[in-house]
Structure 1
Amino acid sequence: MRENDGRKLSHETLEQIRIHAVQRVEAGESPSNVIRTLGFSRGRIYEWLAAYRGGGVEALRAKLGKLGLSLQRPAVRRR
Structure 2
Amino acid sequence: MQSVGIMSGTSLDGIDVALCEILGSGTDTSVRFIEFDTYDLPQAIQEKVKYHHTFKRPTNLGRLLSKKVGNYEKTRNINLSRKR
The answer, yes or no, to whether TM exceeds 0.5 is: no
User: TM-score per shorter chain, which class?
Assistant: under 0.3
- Give the TM-score normalised by structure 2: 0.25
Going by fraction, where is strand more abundant, 1 or 2? 2
Going by fraction, where is helix more abundant, 1 or 2? 1
The structure whose RCO (Cα within 8 Å, separation 6+) is larger is 1
- Give the TM-score normalised by structure 1: 0.27
The structure having more radius of gyration, on CA atoms, is: 1
